[in-house]
Each structure stands twice: as C-alpha cells, then as structure tokens.
Structure 1
Amino acid sequence: MNQEYIKPNAWSIIEEGWNPGLVKSSESLFSIGNGAMGQRANFEEQYSGETFQGSYVAGVYYPDKTRVGWWKNGYPEYFAKVLNAPNFIGIDVFIDGEPLDLHKVDKVSDYSRELNMKEGWYERTFIAHFSIDKAVKVVARRFLCLEVDELGVINYQVTAVKGNMKIEFQPYLDAGITNEDSNWDDAFWEIEELISEDHQAFIRSRTNKTNFHVCTFMQSELVQNGEHLQYANHLEQNNKVIRHTAAIELEENETVTLRKYAGYCSSLNHQQYELFDAARKVLTHATLTGYDVLLQGQIEQWAQIWAMADITIDGDLKAQQGIRFNIFQLNQTYLGKDARLNIGPKGFTGEKYGGSTYWDTEAYCIPFYMATKDQQVARNLLKYRYEQLDKAIENAEKLGFSNGAALYPMVTMNGEESHNEWEITFEEIHRNGAMVFAIYNYVRYTGDFSYVPEMGLEVMIAIARFWHQRATFSQKANKYMILGVTGPNEYENNVNNNWYTNYLAKWCINQALENLDKVKDGYDDDYKRIIGLTHLSGSETASWREVADQMYEPIDEELGIYLQQDGFLDKEIIPVEELDSKHRPINQKWSWDRILRSCYIKQADVLQGFYFFEDHFTKQELEKHFDFYEPLTVHESSLSPCVHSIQAAKLDRMDQAYEFYLRTSRLDLDDYNKEVEEGCHITSMAGTWMSIVEGFGGLKIVDDKPSFETKLPEQWDGFSFKINFRNQILHVQVSKSGTEVITYGTEPVDVIINGKEITLQPQLINA
C-alpha cells in the first residue's frame, strides 16, 4: 500500500498528526528552495529521533573519489557530490532549562505541517507537553526568498499554553556538517573563519579540492506584541559552531517570537574577500525590510510564477494537488537566472544522484521551462551544455575517440563525467542524442534559430563525429551497427543495436548535416568561424552521411515492430501482469543477473523514440509498439509513467493515460517507490507537466504553429494551462463542452485546435 498521509488540498501540502516514522519522508516532501539554495524540512529545534539533515547551495559540489574494486580505462576519477552545507536553520529551545525535543517530550499534540505552494512558505505547528502543568505551542514558518536569493527567513513563535516559564532560544550556525553518502569519509569542508558581532554571526567555509568558499550567516531578533526586545547576546563559540542566546520569562498564554534571518553567500557570485561584506548587506536589507514585508514580497513573487505556470484541474483534488506540487518543486529547483546551474534529479531535497545534471534536463525539463517562462531560460539550459563542450570532447578522448568527437557525460557538475557504474558511464551513450534533440526542440518551439549558428552547431558537429566513430560496419549485414550499449532501459546492459540508440544516432547525423546547410546559406560569418574551428571537410561529412544512410535498425518483420535490441525476442516474453506481486519491484527482489535475462523494461526505450519522433510514425505504428512494449514495462524509473501517459492519451486510452498521470504526479506524495525519504524526483516532475500539456492537451508544433489535440479524462470536469509560444501567451481551457484557446499577446496567432486551423486575435491581459 502506498504511503498516503498527505491531505488532499488544491494549494497546500498538509500533514496532520505526529508520527515519528514519517519525519524523514516529510523532510523531503516539505523541502523548500529558491533556485540558488534549498533545504530539507528539518526541524529548527533539536531532534534526537531519526532525521536526514540537508541544506544545499546550488553549484557547490565536491569530487568524491570513486570507490571501485578494480579500475577500468577511462573510468571517472570521482563522483560529484552535492554538499550538505552548513546548517543555518538551527534554533535550540529550552523551557525552564529543559530542551524542546519532540522525540523526548512527554507528548506531542496538534501537530501539523503545511507547505503553502501558492505563497511559497513552509510552516510547522505543534503543542509540546513537558508535564501535566507545562506545555508550549510552537508555530514555525520559514521561506527562502525568491527576490533576495541568498536569504532565508524563519519566524519561530512560542506560546506558553500551560504554566509560566522561562523560554531560552539559542539560534546557531553549525559548519561541522557531513554528507551521509561519502565514499571515503573525507572531509568535504574546511572551516576557515568564524565571526560573531552583536546579533550577527558568520562562518566562512571552503570546500576541499573544488575550493568553493561559502559564508553562512545569521542575525536574530526577539519580538513580543509587535515590539523588538532588547536581549543579552551571550556568545558560545567553538571551531565549528556559533551560538547566540536570548531568554525571556513568559506567563501563561503569552507569546514570544524569535525571527532569524540567515543564508549563504558563495564565491560563485562574490570574490572570496567580499563574502563577509556581502552577507552583511543581505542582513542589513533583511532587518530593515522586516519579516512582514519580506513575506509579502515572497507571496507576490510566487504569484507571478503561478500566473504563467499554473495548471488547473476541475473535479479531481488529488490530481490538482499533484500537478501543483510538481510545478512548485521545479520552480524551487531552477528559475533560469544562472546559466552555470542546472536541474539535479533530486533538486534540493536530498543527496541521492549527487545533485548533478543528467540527460533528464534535455529530454524532460526543457519543454516545461520553455513553455512557462521566457525562452531565455531554456536557452540558458542549452548554453550550459555548450559551455561544457570542451569537457565532452575530453570525455570522449578518454574513451579513445578523436578529431573533436564529443560524448556528453551521464552525470556531471562541471562537464566531466562523474558516474561510477560502467554500464552507464561507458554504454548509455544515447544521452548524446538528447543534447541534439533539445536544440531541435528549442528551435522548433521558439523559432529562435540564432542559437544554432551561435552555439548549437558546434555541439551537433562534435556529436555527429562521435556517432560516426562509434558505429561499426558489418560486412555480413552491409550495415553500420552500434555495439555494446545500454539504452534507456537500464535493465539491459551491453546489448547490440539498441533501436533507440541507433535511430537517434542516424537522426543526429542528419540534423548536423541539415543545420550545416542552413548556417552556410544564412550565416556566412558563423559558418566560416565554425569550419575554421572544427576543420570540417566535405569528405568527412560524406562519410557521416554514409553511416546515417546505412544505419542498421533491428526489426521483426513477422510482428511488424522495431526490436528493442538484437535478440530481444530470444527472451521469454511474459507480461508484467503475470508476475507474482511478491516479485515486485524486481530491482529490489531479483538478482541483477535475473533482471538482465528477463524481458522486463525499466522505462520507455523503443517508446522513448516514438515519443521524441512522433511525426516519424503513424498512429497505427505507435499502437502496435505500445501494445507490445508497455505490457513488459515495470515502470521502475520515475521517468517512465509520463511518456506512457502521453502516448496512451494519443491512442485514446484515457483510463490508462489517467492512471499513468496520477502515478507520475503523485509519485512522491504517495511514495510509490518507498524511497521518498531520500528526496523527491524533481526531473520527472517535468514529465508530469508534459503528461497534461502534451498528453491531454495534445500540444505539438505543426507547420510552425502550435497544435492542440485535447483529451479530457472522465475523472475531470475540465483543465486549463498556459504556454508562452514565441512571446505570445496562449491560455488553453478544456471542458466537457469543448476546447477554448485565448491569446494574451500583441499579435494574432495561428493555432490548430483539434484539427481545425484558427487565427486567434489577442485579448487584454486582464480580460
């Protein structure tokens, strides 16, 4: 049974009732972030029960030395780890000298958490009973500012609900933090300087090896009845922690609030010697602005995000909550302000996957950011990969490729490959294709071809060179083959001729050739620069074309389907529904050997190709392949349900499409995979958005126009979404009575709605 304790609510994630067994799961689900930093929903006060501490600064990482039993040529030397950063949320609380610790108090009542997605804040409320005649109520709200993204704000309110008492607060900074997943128990951080002055504190830390400098800072104020209280700021300090104290006597029913302003300034954005001054400026701004105004600013910033990104669903509260949770977490993780940053599969919600960049960004995330924000945000994601092209070429050189061939990493922080499983590192090379598809998808959607001559063509050339060198000519078949690979289905390793990989390789080469011609015809200066840079010749491109034209595709003529790879039908083909439930999930119940020999598919593989290249195949072909492969798919990747939801909707299998949608949208909220305590599945959340917009909304680009083939699940009364198409806002509203599309731009827009071409006249923004 799924973990279903989150209360259905359209705009909030709500937990009610104290259950220590859910603490770690809730720390993931109630995580907060602002694109520049994020943190799990750890308690401010001390907690001696099971917890997973996590605070993270975007772009700050450590190269944790690879731990393998034996070395392989080309093997990455390290796994990039997102670092658990110094803790700035800590506020120890003492009631008449006794620590407030929910694991140790006599009783906890009236416990609840709320993550308010509409306004962008997280709040926890409870009553802690110390004895029959002593109890306190705590209401702790915090948020990470969107406007000043180095600042976090905590409003920690305590009321004496039973008895008179002395309340002592100890706000602190703790730089003595470690990761749970260190390979060798190395020290990731060195603490370099601690300063405490008045009510402010600063700790400057430096990461080992990567030499990122981070200043963690705080300032606190004590407030009662709207007035700031003077208090003695007794200092406790060691070589890792700075602790301030503030005490007050409370009579029964009186309330006092500690406000804590804190955050990080890093050397990503400031010179090392400027960090303390930068932190002081943030604190000065915070204290002069004040909590109420900062909170109002947060609400207004989120209102702007939701005005464009929101998806409404009528008549299905859990589905509505699910999509908003996904949209909220995506915006907490990445806002597109900094082209040096990217989207980790866990975002700021946990350490798993190292917080690094995967092909998820290009395959799943770019459509979301492209449609819900200014196109510059998606361009920044593409620029991120262009800036790392030199490293991708180095990665390929380490594996024996030459002449500027590039292999983009499976996992990276700075462009270097840092994945440590050989079948992924060396063989899951289809990721290269996602880089080219993202460029194609961006140009198709935005109409901004300028990216190609400026940056994209160089990427395409380097990737075409890789595929050309990676292919092997088979004299027996008179075809080029790609041997020894792992496709998107990671339950198959070291296979020959994965159809998706071969098809993608052929397409990538043709894209490079096509775009070379376009740039040559229209961008002469860029063309000359690129040819000079790459030393590309006509004979080389001719040899590319030969590989593409003669690329082998495994097909079973009798079934009329593309085979996932050579020999796939040699397996015993038993549908998933015939598997005994005690064997599920197979990745936890079976040996790896048994999984590799089975026919079971982790996520869309052949069907990933049908998703990317839907215009290359007929609906009948999609149906035939869906009917063959989906029954063999165990969906044990978070990236699997969304692709299948989109395709089921295209096939008018709405019950199946809805089931897949609900699974992807509530994957974490209902903890389908029994692992949410490790963090949320951030990149797959973009797939949830695609399930609605591309699946039920049927969005695709046809003849340079947005086309919508809308489908309404019977569980819904209606749904709506907006997209930014070439700087024109389109608002799509689907109900049982039909589909309406409105544009709020400045120019008429040609659209296709359920097969009918229409020219929309713009309406006023406030219409």
Structure 2
Amino acid sequence: MSSSLSFDLDPWSIGLSGVDVDELERRESVFALSNGHLGWRGILDEGDPCGIPGSYLNGVFERFPMPYAEEGYGYPETGESVVNVPDGKVIRLLVDDEPFDVRRGELHRHEQRLDFRAGTLHREVEWTSPAGRRVRIESTRLVSFEHRSIGAVRYVVEPIDSAATVAVQSEVVANIDLLDVHHDPRVKAVLEDPLEPIAHDAIGTRATLVHRTRRSELAIAVSMDHLVDAPTEADVRVEVAEDLARTTITSRLDPGERLDVLKLVGHEWSASLSTSALRDRADAAVADAVHAGWEDLVAGQRARLDDYWSCADVVIEGDLRLQQAVRFALFHVFQAAARLEVRSIPGKGLTGAGYQGHAFWDSEAFVLPVLTYTAPDAARQALLWRRATLDVARERAEHLGLEGAAFPWRTIDGRECSGYWPASTAAFHVSADIAAAAALHARVTGDERFERECGLPILVQTARLWMSLGHHDDRGVFHLDGVTGPDEYSAVVDDNVYTNLMAQRNLRAAAEAARRHPAAARAEHVDDSEIGRWTATADAVAVPFDERLGVHEQSAGFTRRERWDFEGTAREQYPLQDHFPYFDLYRKQVVKQADLVLALLVAHDAFTPDEKARAFAYYEELTVRDSSLSAAVQAVIAAEVGHLDLAVDYLAEVATLDLDDLRDDTAEGLHLASLAGIWIALAAGFGGMRDAADGLSFAPRLAPPMTRMVFGVKVAGHTLRLDVRPEATTYRLASGPAIRVRHFGEVVVLVPGEATTMATPPPIDAGRRPVQPRWRRPRPARTALESASD
C-alpha cells in the first residue's frame, strides 16, 4: 500500500502541507526526532488529534509472561516490550478559552518540515477559531544531540487581526492511552497502564513526575521547565498530579504581539538509583538546558550535524527525490545512534513501537557498517552494548548446551525474547553478525583499545560457539546443522552458506585478534592450541555447491526442493507468511529475503565473478522480498554483476519504502536497517566499495537517473571522498598519511590534498536481465520515484 502523503521536494528537508487526520500515524514516524537516548514521535503539538503519541527512552521496557500451548526446554519465559514514557511534547493552546484543534474552526495554513541540517521539526499554522479569532502559531521542536536527556519545544503564538487572551498549557502526561500497535493481547494488557507513579512535585516553575515500570522495575523521571517572553508579564501557574504535570501560561496579546514559550524537558531512567537521585538528575538536566538557552541548543544541534554531514553526506545529481530520500535516511540513521552511550539500536530506532522496540541482527549487519564508515563513535557505543551483554549471551549458550556466547535474535536488555525458536534460537548467524561488526569497526578505525577490550572478547566467545555447535565429518569437513539463515522462509537447515561463511570469518577474525593481543587473549583463556583449532576449522567449513546447476546452494539440498508455485500465487497473497503455513514455505524453493545473495556481499572474496552472476540470476527467480532487508542487498549484487538498471530499480524501492509506505507499516516506526541499506546500495552497489584485509576497493559505476554521486568514508580517522561520474571517479583524501585503495583492481595511492582521477572501464556484458517471481518484480525506478513525489 502506498501512502497518500505528498511530501514536497527539497534536498535538505522534508515537509508536508495540510493535515490529513487519517495519515497522522505515518507522518508521526517520518517526522520523529531522536538522539539514541530519547525519541519523540512527530505528533502535532497539541496532542489531539493524534495517531500514536510515542515518547521513548532507549532501554526502558516492560516484561510480560510468554505462555506456550506446548512448552519446550530453552523457550524464553518472558517477553519484553518498549513502553511509552511520560510524554513531554504536548503543548495545548486556548484562544479566548477556545482550544486550538485542526479539526475545528478554519485552518488557513499548516506546514510541517523536518530539517536534516538543523535537526529540528518546524511547524507553521494560521488558524481562525470558531469564534473568529485568527492566530499565527510557530513551533520548533528538537531532541538535543548535545544535552542527551533534553527535548525542547519553542512555541510562539501571535494574534493576527484582533486582540485575544492566549493560554498555553504545557504538559507532561503519563500512561497515555495508546492504539493497539502491538497485535498481541499479552503485550496489550501489559501496556494498558505500564507506569506506576512514585513521586511528583513542583518547585517554582519546574515540575517533575517519577514513575516505575511494574514488572521490570525501571524508574523514569521526567522534568520540565519554561522560559517565557511576553509583551507584558504573563500569568504562570503550575499544577502536578501523579500522571500529569501542567504549566499554564496566560497572556493578553494585541495583533502583532507574540507570546514566546520555550519548553525544556529532561528525561532520566535507572534500574538502581533512588527516587530522589533520579529526580535530581532530571532536574539538573533541565537546569543546564535553561542556562544554555534556545540559541545554544540550536547551535549545538547544527554543529553536530555539520560534523556528521562532512563525511556522511551523499550527493546525488539527476533525481531530486532520490537525493531527498538519501539524506532523509542518513539523518534518521544518525538520530538513532547519536547519543547511544552503551545502548542498542532497535529495529525501528526510537521512531515507533514496532517490533516491540527490539534490537535484531540487522543493526549489526546493516546499520553499524554505515555508522562505522560515517560516524564511528556512534557505532562503537552500540558494540559496547553488545560487549556489556556478553555474559548474558554466554548464559544463553550454556542453557542451550553450547560453549561460548549465543546472542539473542530479538531483545531489549540482552535476553532472548522470541518464542518462535526456528526463526530465533536456530538463527545462530546473529552471533557471527555481531562479531563481524566488531571486527570491521576495529579494522576501519584502527582502534586497538576497542579491539582489545570489546572486539576480542566478542570474537573469542562467538568462535567458541561455532566450535561447539558444529562437527567434522569423516572427511574432515566442518558442518553446521539445524541452523536458520537470514531467509525466514527456510528454517532449521544444514550448512546454510551465509551462516557457514560468517562462522568461517568469525573463526579467522578471532584467531587474528588473539595473535595481535596475546595478553588479552590469555585473559580469555585462549592458548595457541585453541587458535590453531579455530584456523583449521575455518579452512574446513562446508560450502554447498550444486555441480549440476553450477550455483551455490543456499543450504544443503536447497536446490533439490520443489519450487514454489509462483504462477499460482495471487498478488494479494503476499507476503506469503500471512497466507501460507510455514511448514509449506520451509520445504519449497522460495526465498523471503536475500540470504545466499547476502553472502555474495559480506563474503565477497569467497566467490568468483562468474559464481556471483550465476547465483544472483538463480536466486532472483526465487526471492519475493517479503522483508524490508532484501532490496538493498539485491541492488548491490545487481550492480556488481552488471545489471545496473535492475540495481536502480531496487535502490528506488529502498529509497521509497517508508516515505511511500510500501509495506503499510510505517505508522509503527521507520525501518532503520532499510534506511541504512540506502547508503549500502549506493556505496557498495554503485560505488562498488568492498572491505578487505589490504584495504578498501572500489568499482564505481552510475546508471540513470543518476548523473553524479559523491560520497565519503572515514578510514582510521581520515575522510576519503569519491566524486563519481559516468566516465571517471575522482578520489580525495582530506588529511593524514597517504593510503592505498583499489580502483577496479588497480592499486591507487592517495595523498592528502591531491585529487586522483581514474577512468571507468567499459561496462560488463551482463546478458539477459534476471527475472523475478510473478508480482514481485520491482517497480521501475522512474515510476517509483515519481509516485513517491505525487
């Protein structure tokens, strides 16, 4: 389903005119603000009408029991779900005692705009009340990158043609009634009233609410204060109750006079602090923000984004909608991680409660590589969170009868909370994905301390997992049986190629890191004998290949299964998981999302060019893209094997996924891994970027509508930028020592301050364009990009 929202075209922002109350949930996700610690959905200031009024703190969740019709050993006993913390966004307006409501009176103008360089959500309104009082309203909202706990709103009201008494009611509201976004009666019951009031108080103009989640026992303090600028002294009143704090600011204004209110909201949570200590922290955060003032908050926001964009920005010439979508995606990726400080990156970031606020493997597989190359400090914090949960992962492995660490499929606090084991517990590739992200971060940044203290323990424990999970056959070949790869339509299989190759790389990376850091390795009880076993096992990993077809099998025996009846499947029967039983999907050749094709990317050096081309063509016929994770990967490999037109079509699909609401679920939050996938499709697909032991290599090629692409990566603290045009690519290294890269295999030495231009070789003869299953061919890029801007 495509959204009816019609976003304007602007390269550095995204805006909407008017208000369609039936589309509020979607626009709230698109206009969400976050800093990785605090997330505010983009609701209208007045809070009514509203779709989903989310206000989230990373790591705050509630537990709920997970009963099973038939219990089994190793099944998680409790689930976890993000909860809505006390909401401090709400600012209501009364004009001569009539409440401002976009559904009442006459709305002359309504504009909302998310600014990617300012890091703010700006709103402009002109409205006439039912009694005929016309006012102009401006609000600017931000979630601070500098002040981690602070959300702020500047709210300005001005009568236009007659005097009016204006009252601004600023609130913090707890236990707001939510629409059913969780589709699970267990979760819905828990979230109906998740917060237990502990304390509330008001000191001067500052008001604070303190609550605790009832089962997980996490305490949350939310404090607010205001700075008021009015032509005459305004009346300010503060009231506070268990679930509501309200500051009412009243002023009599003549036409042209303005009531200017700055609202500052501090958010803190803890599993251990006392009520008074937590309240004091929230109050102190607000006091610091009051001292800083609005201009400093705005300047700090801009400075952080200027620094980020100096490397992360991707310039696209040839299609303005694509340019806007790329910056929209990169802005949200940065928001999700800017102030993590040893926290996870949930699948929806902090833009919504979809997936119950859980973090998945796609954070490490998609989001962290982008951050490692563009905002490495943020990536480091997410990996430190995985390090902090390593002991929990070791306990999980032990519970499963394994050694090492088994990281969870979906989680908030580090514990597995998926009740469907074939797609979760059996998906052991999660541990290799985390290990790979840690190894990549250490390699790209050159941060030896990170590798020693964070990367090495993760690599060692995940290597031990593979050694205990797999077995050698009588020929010495190492197998991993009964595992699930990325493709969720094929579960509990033997020798999934993606899993096996990721395990192989995991074992080798652990051995190399242990050799680089012998003292740290000894602290993990690693000796030369164990390193030798890792290396030997990596060399013996099974990689199934169908000699008859000349393609790698996604898993052992996969290519001998019966093919899914794509011709007999109706358009409305997708996604397949909603219309067919899993047992039928599991035994057929049908692929939900790139699996073997993902292996072609992450283990690119394990395949020849011819093997990649044949595998891509084969699995295109089977891949239905019922997951948002697939199109970006298919774009990359399509570009590599020479199908640039198909790569552009997949790029357009990724770029419009949330803006055009292609999956009819943007209301529940943005697809963060897919947003990161846009950068991957551009850098790894059309930039041909690959990471290897001897450095980065590039093979840039463009295709219409793109006529130019400029992107950057950070390598060991230095920024490398590529200016890609159809005929040639120019490389520029900003500073630091010279580095070596490869351009279509040719070694190029880059010197800071000097531009190096390399010609693009003739295109690959890729042959016939691969076909996709019926109803699953991507929309042509031009159609997709035009429909997104209608």
Normalised to the residue count of structure 2, the TM-score between the two structures is: 0.88
Cα distance, 1:452 vs structure 2: 4.4
Per the TM alignment, residue 578 of structure 1 is displaced from its structure 2 partner at its CA by 7.9
Find the residue that maps to 1:632 and give its secondary structure: coil
- 1:107 Cα offset (Å): 3.7
Counterpart AA for 2:267:
Y
The residue aligned with 1:237 is 240
Report 1:153-192 matches (<5 A): 153-161=152-160, 163-177=162-176, 180=180, 181=182, 182-185=187-190, 187-192=193-198
Aligned to 1:672: 662
Give the stretch that moved more between structures: 327-336 or 174-183. 174-183
Question: Aligned runs of 1:619-698 on 2, under 5 Å?
Answer: 619-698=609-688
- Structure 2 CA distance, aligned partners of 1:57 and 1:543? 43
Give how far 1:140 is off: 1.8
Q: Offset at 1:598?
A: 4.1
Within-5 A mapping of 1:48-197: 49=49, 51-103=51-103, 105-131=104-130, 133-161=132-160, 163-177=162-176, 180=180, 181=182, 182-185=187-190, 187-197=193-203
Cα offset, 1:702, TM superposition: 4.8
Any idea what the Cα deviations from partners look like across 1:204-236, whole Å, max 9, x if unmatched?
222334433322111123323xx5x53333343
Q: Which amino acid in structure 2 is aligned with residue 334 of structure 1?
A: A
Task: Specify the alignment match of 1:463 in structure 2.
Answer: 462
SS at match of 1:234: strand
Identify the residue that residue 366 of structure 1 maps to in structure 2: 368
Does structure 1 residue 529 correspond to structure 2 residue 535? no
Instruction: State the distance in 1 between where 2:536 and 2:210 align.
Output: 57
> Which of the numbers 260, 265, 271 marks the counterpart of 2:263?
260
Contact 1:393 1:407 in 2 (8 A): yes
Pairing partner for 1:280 from 265, 269, 283? 283
Cα displacement (A) at 1:547:
5.5
| Paired position in structure 2 for 1:392 | 393
Percentage identity across paired residues of the two chains: 27
SS in 1 for 2:563: coil
> Taking structure 1 as reference, are residues 13 and 356 closer, same or farther at Cα in structure 2, changes over 3 Å only?
same
Counterpart of 1:349?
Answer: 351
Q: Identify the residue that residue 699 of structure 1 maps to in structure 2.
A: 689
Q: Deviations over 1:400-427 (max 9, x none)?
A: 22xx422111122332212222222321
Distance in 1 between residues matched to 2:298 and 2:451, nearest whole Å: 42
Cα deviation for residue 168 of structure 1 reads: 1.6
Decide whether aligned partners of structure 1 residues 221 and 269 sit closer, same or farther in structure 2, where only a CA change above 3 A counts.
farther
Give the alignment of 1:298-447 within 5 angstroms: 298-335=301-338, 338=341, 340-373=342-375, 375-401=376-402, 404-447=403-446
Query: What secondary structure, in the 3-state scheme, does the structure 1 residue paired with 2:713 have?
Result: strand
Which whole-Å CA distance do the structure 2 matches of 1:210 and 1:93 have between them?
36
Q: How big is the shift at 1:272? A: 4.8
Quick check: 1:136–1:160 contact (8 Å CA) kept in 2?
A: yes
Counterpart-to-counterpart distance in 2, 1:512 and 1:306 = 34
Contact map agreement 1:94 1:167 (CA 8 A) in 2: yes
Take 1:46 and 1:366, find their aligned partners in 2: how far apart are those partners?
Answer: 34
1:203 matches 2:209: yes
Q: Hey, what does 1:509 align to over in structure 2?
A: 507
Kept in 1, the 8 Å contact 2:40–2:89? The answer is no
Tell me, which stretches of 5 or more residues in structure 1 are unaligned?
Answer: none
CA distance in 2, matches of 1:305, 1:640: 27
Q: Deviations over 1:82-139 (max 9, x none)?
A: 2211011112222222222224x14433222110111110022233343373333322
**1:615–1:450 Cα change, 3 Å:** farther
* Equivalent residue number for residue 27 of structure 1: 28
The one-letter amino acid paired with 1:364 is F
Change (3 A) 1:301 1:481: closer
State the alpha-carbon separation in 1 of the partners of residues 419 and 177 from structure 2. Answer: 21
User: Distance in 2 between the 1:238 and 1:86 partners?
Assistant: 13
Using the TM superposition, give the Cα deviation of residue 493 of structure 1 relative to its aligned residue in structure 2, in angstroms.
2.4
The letter of the residue matching 1:371 is: Y
Classify 1:443/1:279 alpha carbon distance in 2 versus 1 (closer, same or farther; 3 Å). Answer: closer
Change (3 A) 1:170 1:588: same
Matches of 2:420 and 2:106, distance apart in 1: 47
1:722 Cα deviation from its structure 2 partner:
1.4
Structure-2 separation of matches of 1:649 and 1:315: 18
| Contact 1:91-1:171 within 8 A present in 2 as well | yes
Q: Is the 8 A contact 1:722 1:730 kept in 2?
A: yes
Following superposition, the deviation at residue 385 of structure 1 comes to 2.1
Could you tell me how far apart the structure 2 residues matched to 1:731 and 1:295 are?
28
Partner amino acid for 2:83? L
The amino acid of 1:237's aligned partner reads V
Code of the aligned partner of 1:459: I
Q: Which moved more, 1:747-756 or 1:673-682?
A: 747-756
**1:206-217 mapped onto 2 (5 Å cutoff):** 206-217=212-223
- Superposition deviation, residue 311 in structure 1: 0.9
From the superposition, tell whether residues 524 and 127 of structure 1 become closer, same or farther in structure 2 (CA, over 3 Å). closer
Note if contact 1:727-1:745 (Cα within 8 Å) is conserved in structure 2. Answer: no
- Check 1:436–1:735 CA distance in 2 against 1; reply closer, same or farther (3 A cut): same
Distance 1:764 1:478 in 2: 52
CA-based RMSD of the aligned residues comes to 2.8
Q: Does 1:581 align with 2:580?
A: no
Equivalent pair of 1:344/1:683 in contact (CA under 8 Å): no
Q: Which moved more, 1:441-450 or 1:310-319?
A: 441-450
Kindly provide the amino acid, as one letter, of the partner of residue 761 in structure 1.
Answer: V
Deviates more, 1:303-312 or 1:560-569: 560-569
Amino acid of the structure 2 residue aligned with 1:311 = V
Measured in 1, the distance between the counterparts of 2:251 and 2:541 equals: 77
Shift of the 266–50 alpha-carbon distance from structure 1 to 2, 3 Å rule, reads closer
Q: TM-score, normalised by structure 1?
A: 0.91
Contact 1:84 1:178 in 2 (8 A): no
SS in structure 1 of the partner of residue 401 of structure 2: coil
Q: Which amino acid aligns with 1:405?
A: G
Give the drift of 1:608: 1.5
1:559 equivalent in structure 2: 549
1:718 aligns with 2:721: no
The equivalent of 2:486 in structure 1 is: 488
Does the C-alpha gap of structure 1 residues 614 and 54 become closer, same or farther in structure 2, counting only changes over 3 Å?
same
Per the alignment, in what secondary structure is the counterpart of residue 601 of structure 1? Answer: coil
Other-structure match for 2:785: none
Tell me, in whole angstroms, the C-alpha distance in 2 between the residues paired with 1:286 and 1:545: 54
SS in 2 for 1:216: strand
After TM superposition, give the deviation of residue 387 of structure 1 in Å. 2.4
Alpha-carbon displacement from aligned partner over 1:474-508 (angstroms, at most 9, x marks no partner): 67x88554333321110122333323223333443
**CA distance in structure 2 between the aligned counterparts of 1:34 and 1:50, rounded to whole angstroms:** 22
Q: What does the per-residue CA deviation read over 1:384-406, in whole Å, with 9 as the maximum and x for residues that have no partner? A: 222222111111122222xx422
